[in-house]
Chain A
Amino acid sequence: MVEKKHIVTAFDEDLTTLNDMMARMGALAETQLFASTEALIARNPSGLDDIIKRDKELDDLEALLNEKVIEIIALRAPRAEDLRRVIVALKVASTLERIGDLAKNIAKRNKVILGTTVKTQMLPSIRTMTSMVLKMLNKTLDAYVEVDAVTALDVMEADIEVDKLNTVVFQSLIEEMSSDQEQLKIGPHLLFVTKNIERIGDHITGIAEQIYFLHHGEMPDKTRPKADQSSSIALS
């Protein structure tokens, strides 16, 4: 990141405001994801409606951030890394909003799952996947502020593990369903829950790529292998 301050101090204040808004969005997205899977693990649906309602906060924050970006472009005519920063802010905010949507969807499905008495063996794996993804998100949000492209690359790497685990969980859920009719009440929802977590990992990777771009002025090499094989799995 360019360390020097702008001559127009209000410009620095604008960029700080932008970072603060992003930090709030990031923290909220984290909380939403954490709370929605914790409810499932703890078999406690009481907080799920709140999660579903709070998603609107993320939408509102994104709208505010968009306005701020438009204002900065109009008033400050940012250039070079400054320009990348505001454009990247737009994209990252939109991605965080999408992560929020997926967390909300997880909450909705968990309501249905917890409305039954059927239990799955996959809770520990789902919890592991969630914490992997949360760790990625946390690192990414820090890397965003620091424009730390090295950490961004780590995050992209970490997503491969999430994809691998998702493939395993997908396989296991299919097996659960095929061995026990009762599981069909929750299995399809669980597939979506895990798929959503995996998608969130992809979105975080997208943010990490933006951080890399912010730093280097170009996108990272797109040759990383895709480790999520679930789309080619069939019941054997």
Chain B
Amino acid sequence: MKRDGDMTLSTPKIKSSGIIVEYDGKRALHGIDLDIYPNEVTALIGPSGCGKSTFLRCINRMNDVIDNCKVSGRLMIDDTDVYDPEIDVVELRARVGMVFQKPNPFPKSIYDNVAYGPRIHGLTENKDDMDRIVKKSLKRAGLWDEVRERLDDKALGLSGGQQQRLCIARAIAVNPEILLMDEPCSALDPIATSIIEELINELRERFTIVIVTHSMQQAARVSQKTGYFHLGNIIEYGETNDIFTRPKNEQTEAYISGRIG
């Protein structure tokens, strides 16, 4: 796809070229070309079933675990070809963290939830180092002050919004480069949502963030770029400000203004 001149300032962090995804031979994505830029939030919007989650899962090869799913095309993260058969998928997932729609902490303590990633990736053996990683991650996720006194409590005892921030802390504990978020606020109340949105805005200094959301307002609030998906194609992609004020495509306009398309 063609991009506006002002979008070529930096090199893309993620480069999707002709990504096709099939479930049982039926196409869910028809060849996605999309450049995602570093230290920005890119929002993916579009009607249910258009392939947003499918595309997101291509970025960290989460589609691999779905038996009937076949991915073709090329997806680059910096100079890494994500679908290179030689690639270590575990290592890839350390570079690309993911936060899901429903907060899904492990049934363990708050501490262990955050320490889990660093442990399996062997980031450290040392207790003091681990304490430091846990604290830093919880701080970045904006949860530290609320849980510092009860790190050994069960994570499932936290509120939904706190659980989601814990999942963000867990995702960033392994120091990923990219954070994928699939409707991270859809189970949260407006206050918890605002807290997460503010957090996303802070996190983008360190991470490249791709967020799928059904809330137009959320996409408008948190992202710098927006991509509109429809029936497995990317219809329009550009500056969020332009997409929500002067979309070029009629289908985009119809979707964002809640018209029957």
Contact = CB atoms under 8 A, between A and B. Distances in A.
Interface in B180-229: 216-217, 220
A42 to B, nearest CB: 49
A4 B246 contact: no
Nearest to A84: B245
B31 to A, nearest CB: 27
Interface string A1-40: 0101111100100000000000000000000000000000
Nearest to A2: B253
Contact of A79 (B256, B260, B261): B256
A195 B258 CA distance: 45
A83 interface: yes
B120 interface: no
B43 to A, nearest CB: 14
A81 interface: yes
Interface string B225-261: 0000000000000000000111100100110111111
Contacts of A7: 258-260
Given A77-B216, A77-B217, A2 B245 contact: no
Interface residues of A, number: 15
A78 B257 contact: yes
Nearest to A12: B259
Interface residues of B, number: 16
A101 to B, nearest CB: 32
A80 interface: yes
Contacts of A81: 253, 257
Nearest to B254: A4
What is the predominant secondary structure among interface residues of chain B facing chain A?
A: helix
A148 interface: no
A161 interface: no
B254 A83 contact: no
B197 to A, nearest CB: 16
A214 to B, nearest CB: 12
B179 to A, nearest CB: 26
B259 A6 contact: yes
B244 A80 contact: yes
A83 B256 CA distance: 11
A7 B261 CA distance: 9
Given A2-B253, A77-B216, A77-B217, A217 B260 contact: no
A136 to B, nearest CB: 28
Contacts of A83: 245
Given A217-B245, A217-B246, A80 B258 contact: no
Contacts of B254: 2, 4
A79 B246 contact: no
A77 B257 CA distance: 9
B217 A4 contact: no
A176 interface: no
Contact of B247 (A8, A77, A80): A80
Nearest to B256: A79
A79 B259 contact: no
Contacts of A8: 258
Interface string A77-101: 1111111000000000000000000
Contacts of A80: 244-247, 253, 256-257
Nearest to A217: B246
Contacts of B245: 79-80, 83, 217
B259 A5 contact: yes
Interface of A: 2, 4-8, 11, 77-83, 217
Given A5-B259, A5-B260, A80-B245, 10 more contacts: A2-B257, A6-B257, A6-B259, A7-B258, A8-B258, A11-B258, A77-B216, A78-B257, A80-B246, A80-B253
Interface of B: 216-217, 220, 244-247, 250, 253-254, 256-261
14 contacts: A2-B253, A2-B254, A4-B261, A5-B259, A6-B257, A6-B260, A7-B258, A7-B260, A11-B258, A79-B256, A80-B246, A81-B257, A82-B257, A217-B245
